[in-house]
Amino acid sequence: MARLVVLGGGVAGHTTATFAAKWLGSEHEVVVVTPNSQWNWIPSNIWVGVGQMTKKDVTFDLAPVYAKAGITYYQAKATSLNPEGNETSDKPFVSIEYTEEGKAGQVENIEYDYIVNATGPKLNFGATPGLGEGDQLGEHTVSVCTAGHAVHANEKLQEAIEKMKGGTRQKFLIGTGHGMCTCQGAAFEYIFNIEHELSKAGVRDMADIKWISNESFLGDFGMGGLHMKVGGYVVSSKLFAESLFAERSIEWLIGAHTSKVEAGKLHYELLDGSTGEEEFDFSMLIPPFAGVGLKAYAKDGSDITDTVFAPNGFMKVDADYTPKAYADWKAADWPRTYQNPSYKNMFAAGIAFAPPHAISKPMKSPNGTPINPTPPRTGMPAGIIGKAVAHSVCDMITKGDAAHLHEASMAEMGAACVASAGKGIFDGTAAAMTVYPVVPDFEKYPGTGRDTDYTFGEIGLAGHWIKHVLHYLFIYKAKLNPGWTLIPE
């Protein structure tokens, strides 16, 4: 009997564990180690953050689902890996620390034959003074990155709405909290939902809404922008995004590194080196992401974290990490199998793998401050990678370590992004976008790096309905309800 340990019960880890458990059956053991007791459909946190959904609507308990799937579940966080075992045993193991009530703080080692790191991001609020401490959100701004954060964001939003109803103008500042953030799409969606809710509440004219982001142009989205088919034209996402903002009278400040946050005030540095301040009454800033800080030790106890992980804490996989100039970046730099180059029984899936480089053009201010988005690894790629990795591990278990590994390169994979702007079935709209592939391939698609037949954008109710359908479909799938394997990632 082989044991697969999956670290992280998010989009990628849950996909890996549930498929592996289904394919391996009871002959082998699948273990999930994750600090949360609940699964969260993160994209719908946006609607929690504007009071249109509750935390309960976007989460469910993991324990019964894992029990049904025959998965061994530890509510704990992984702290370190010993891929060669230790001085007393050759068996690789992961050290965990329980987070479960009643056991919190207790530590244990779990041996494994195969391990998949799907620990997602550390929400690195501490990287920006005033934004928070470590992975803890500070007191000056709100976040929608977790369901709990989104509940808090909505409380603050409702307070602001009450103030506006009482005649006090409010300034809303939404965007990225650091020069090296990713996940602009989430902030993008949130700002439009805020605008929609303020209009609905009849207080839009009492609000000044502003976007602040590290993108060098609006619509970069951490993918260097995209050229998409819209209404028969192929246009840059810059035009598409600017149109959305202009239509709603939302101003933007781009190429901005948030350098410090204080009560009601944000300090920034721009790509031209100038600095400035923005005041706010309500601010939602996405933190930069880092790896969750797992350590790795060799058999003799020496620290091999640098061998297994990149400096940003994400796990090294089969990418080409050779430092290269932007002009030399290639689609082939991106990983295909997500296998760790040093330890063949170790994989990373979703946000946890170290990308070879950004997708957006790297930029610095004259002061040397890097200001450019880091690459997004959204839900669809996270799920597809999670499934490919599950396939590979199952084949290695059943056919031996020489089994052919399954591939899922982000340069051959699309992503569907539906950014809602309000939740009503008949008055909501959404910008529905698909991009294919996520990482542009200028050898295959010399014009824009992408297939413009499948890279398109559209605004309207239809996208909004799709967003609704996806919410129910993915929660249904994640609960392993009948037919769940038929629903694509």
Partner 1 sequence: MKQEEYNFEKEQFSLTMIPGKFARAMRTCVIWQFFRFLVLNIKMIIVVGKSH
Site of interaction with ligand FAD (CB under 6 A) = 7-13, 33-36, 42-43, 45-46, 77-78, 118-120, 144-145, 183, 186, 292, 350-352, 377-380, 382, 417
Q: Residue 3: which H helix or E strand, with range? A: strand 3-7
As measured in angstroms, the least distance from the Cβ of 192 to partner 1 is 13
Q: In the complex with ligand FAD, which residue's Cβ is closer, 52 or 119?
A: 119
Shortest gap between Cβ of 472 and partner 1 (angstroms)? 14
Shortest distance, position 102 Cβ to partner 1, whole Å: 41
Contact partner, 100, from ligand FAD, partner 1, none, Cβ < 5-8 Å per class: none
Closer CB to partner 1, 28 or 468, in the complex = 468
Alpha carbon distance 398, 385 (integer Å)? 20
Q: Which is nearer to partner 1, 134 or 202 (CB)?
A: 202
The residue number with the shortest CB distance to ligand FAD is: 10
- Count of all residues that appear for the chain in the document: 489
Closer Cβ to partner 1, 163 or 204, answer by number: 204
Judge whether 69 and 18 are in contact, CB under 8 Å: yes
With respect to ligand FAD, which residue has the nearer C-beta, 80 or 86?
A: 80
**Closer residue to partner 1 in complex, CB, 125/456:** 456
Residue 414: which of ligand FAD, partner 1, none does it interact with, CB under 5 to 8 A by kind? Answer: partner 1
CA 190 from chain centre, in angstroms, equals 15
Distance between CA 446 and CA 467 in Å, rounded? 32
Residue 436 binding result from partner 1, ligand FAD, none, given CB thresholds of 5 to 8 Å by partner type: partner 1
Beta bridge partners of 77: 97
**Least distance from C-beta 460 to partner 1, angstroms?**
4
Min separation Cβ 297 and partner 1, Å: 36
Smallest distance from the beta carbon of 3 to partner 1, in angstroms? 27
Judged by beta carbon distances under 5 to 8 A according to partner kind, the member of partner 1, ligand FAD, none in contact with residue 144 is ligand FAD
Q: Taking the CB of residue 85, how many other CB atoms lie within 10 A of it?
A: 16
Nearer to partner 1, 128 or 193 (CB): 193
- What is the dihedral sign for C-alpha 118, 181, 406, 15? positive
Helices (H), 370-460: 379-399
> Do residues 112 and 90 make contact, with C-beta atoms less than 8 angstroms apart?
no
Residue 33's binding partner among partner 1, ligand FAD, none (Cβ under 5 to 8 angstroms by kind) is ligand FAD
**Interacting residues with partner 1 (CB under 8 A):** 239, 242-243, 245-247, 249, 251-252, 380, 384, 387, 408, 412-414, 416, 426-427, 429, 432, 434, 436-437, 454, 456, 458-463, 465-466, 488-489
Alpha carbon 447 to its chain's center: 28
CB hemisphere CA count around 195 (13 angstroms): 25
Tokens (6 digits) for 333: 């730099």
* Pairwise CA distance, residues 81 & 343, whole Å: 11
Q: 200: part of which helix (H) or strand (E)?
A: helix 184-200
Helix axes 379-399, 11-24, angle to 10 degrees: 30
Q: How far apart are the first and last CA of the chain?
A: 29
Residue 488 binding target from ligand FAD, partner 1, none, CB below 5 to 8 Å by type = partner 1
Two tokens, residue 301: 């106890």
Tokens of 25: 């059956």
Q: Which does 476 bind (CB under 5 to 8 A by kind): partner 1, ligand FAD, none?
A: none
CB nearer ligand FAD, residue 45 or residue 372:
45
